[in-house]
Amino acid sequence: MLVFSTAGESHGRGVFAFLDGIPAGLKVDHAAIDADLARRQKGYGRGERMAIEHDVVDVLSGIRGGCTLGSPVLLAVWNRDSENWKTFMDPWEIMPGRELRTPRPGHADLAGAARFHHRDLRNVLERSSARETAGRVAAGGVLRSFLTALGIEACSWVTKIGPVECEAMFDRDLRDGSGVFCPDHDATRDMEKAVDDARSRGDTLGGEFVVVLRGLPAGIGSYTQWDKRLDALFASHLMSIPGIKAVQIGKGVGCAGLPGSLVHDPIVPTHPLGRTSNNAGGMEGGVSNGEPLEIRCSMKPIPTLKKGLPSVDLGDGSPVQAAYERSDVCAVPAASVVGEAMAVIALSAAILDSFCQPSMEALLPAFEAHRRYWESL
């Protein structure tokens, strides 16, 4: 069973990811992890923090000579900005009189303070910050090597920023050449303009992105128990990304208003068995059906607004505007990279659940035997 968790505060020493249950002997692509981390930092609409950080993975345990050992993997992404926050973040002594008392609507500030009885909202925002997602991308980077070894490829792209939508087909070069990770020149220009307009108004924007996983045989996941259904696994992993308010599998909410004859994907006698459409997003009964897995996520606008939002000073109960230091105007492109990482983690967990082996040497033949079975149907 795959265990995955993260630790770290936004302005503390670093962000950390812990992975246990990866088979021994997996060759890990170091450069690919750093490429993912660099991609997460980019995207038109990011704020000043990304100019300070230079995120790279530091492996603290579990990988030797480029291969997993079968022991727990601990990853660090150090925060360069922590140097500037020492007096706020010291574990033993912090400067008094600098407590944050005004919760920002849309952030975890108020609800998180209620959860842990914090008086200083910094105790909430340091961990609830999306800086934590650097750890997820580092972990996803390691597991991307696992999926690659099994012939599975993951990609993501942005389909909407604010009012600008684009349903262009995925093209890696076009996406990588786009400031907003959208594989279309005209839509990129319009999305960047929408971000500029929001910035000039002191406002923020949300949007949508799609994650696709290709190369997976049918038969991964299970209908036998609620928490083994692939749809549920992807929904929880993707929904856990800060700012994500909706996750759709395949045609998603679009299925609700259509008759069954226009929703369910006809099976055709190809080898392997194929479909004439993929409204199910590659999952039926909580199990992969051989088609690409397709997940679409909707992200709300960043809640830290330059123009501020009405709030209350928790010290004296007076109405005030929420404070602003710095923030992103739009983080949808970055979230698409995190979404890709979380989808990789979810699928790796499902595969390891079905093909639990201590080494890649044992796992690969078992997985390939299953793929041959599916292709023989």
Cβ distance to ligand EPS smaller for residue 2 or 15: 15
Per rule CB under 6 A, is residue 160 in the interface with ligand EPS? Answer: no
Cβ distance to ligand EPS smaller for residue 23 or 301: 301
Structure tokens at 97: 């009189």
Residues forming beta bridges with residue 7, ordered by sequence position = 16
From 24-32, 128-136, 179-187, 310-318, give the range in contact with ligand EPS by CB under 6 A.
128-136
Residue 349 C-beta: closest distance to ligand EPS, Å: 24
Cβ distance to ligand EPS smaller for residue 47 or 70: 47
From 22-30, 93-101, 126-134, 248-256, give the range in contact with ligand EPS by CB under 6 A.
126-134
Considering only 39, 49, 136, 296, the residue that binds ligand EPS (CB under 6 A) is: 49
Cβ distance to ligand EPS smaller for residue 24 or 50: 50
Residue 244 C-beta: closest distance to ligand EPS, Å: 12
Dihedral, CA atoms, 166, 241, 31, 146, nearest 10 degrees? -100
Per rule CB under 6 A, is residue 302 in the interface with ligand EPS? Answer: yes
Residues 311-340 that bind ligand EPS (CB under 6 A): 326-328, 331, 334
Residue 152 C-beta: closest distance to ligand EPS, Å: 26
Per rule CB under 6 A, is residue 208 in the interface with ligand EPS? Answer: no
Per rule CB under 6 A, is residue 47 in the interface with ligand EPS? Answer: yes
Per rule CB under 6 A, is residue 129 in the interface with ligand EPS? Answer: yes
Considering only 10, 156, 178, 248, the residue that binds ligand EPS (CB under 6 A) is: 10
Per rule CB under 6 A, is residue 136 in the interface with ligand EPS? Answer: no
Amino acid at residue number 335: A
Convert the chain into a string of H (helix), E (strand) and C (coil): CCEEEEECCCCCCEEEEEEECCCECCECCHHHHHHHHHHHHCCCCCCCHHHHCCCCCEEEECEECCEECCCCEEEEEECHHHHHHHHHHCCCCCCCCCCCCCCCCCCCHHHHHHHHCCCCCHHHHHHHCHHHHHHHHHHHHHHHHHHHHCCCEEEEEEEEECCEECCCCCCHHHHHCCCCCCCCHHHHHHHHHHHHHHHHCCCCCCEEEEEEEECCCCCCECCCCHHHCHHHHHHHHHHCCCCEEEEEECCHHHHCCCCHHHHCCCEECCCCCEECCCCCCCEECCEECCCCEEEEEEECCCCCCCCCCEEECCCCCCEEECCCCCCCCCCHHHHHHHHHHHHHHHHHHHHHHHCCCCEHHHHHHHHHHHHHHHHHC
Number of other residues whose CB lies within 10 A of the CB of residue 260: 7
Size of the site for ligand EPS (CB under 6 A): 15
- Angle ∠(230,233,239) on CA atoms, nearest 5: 135
Residue 38 C-beta: closest distance to ligand EPS, Å: 12
From 57-65, 131-139, 277-285, 366-374, give the range in contact with ligand EPS by CB under 6 A.
131-139
Residues 230-289 that bind ligand EPS (CB under 6 A): 242
Considering only 39, 122, 127, 131, the residue that binds ligand EPS (CB under 6 A) is: 131
Cβ distance to ligand EPS smaller for residue 117 or 326: 326
Considering only 33, 37, 121, 130, the residue that binds ligand EPS (CB under 6 A) is: 130
Residue 136 C-beta: closest distance to ligand EPS, Å: 11
Positions touching ligand EPS (CB under 6 A) are 10, 47, 49, 129-131, 133-134, 242, 302, 326-328, 331, 334
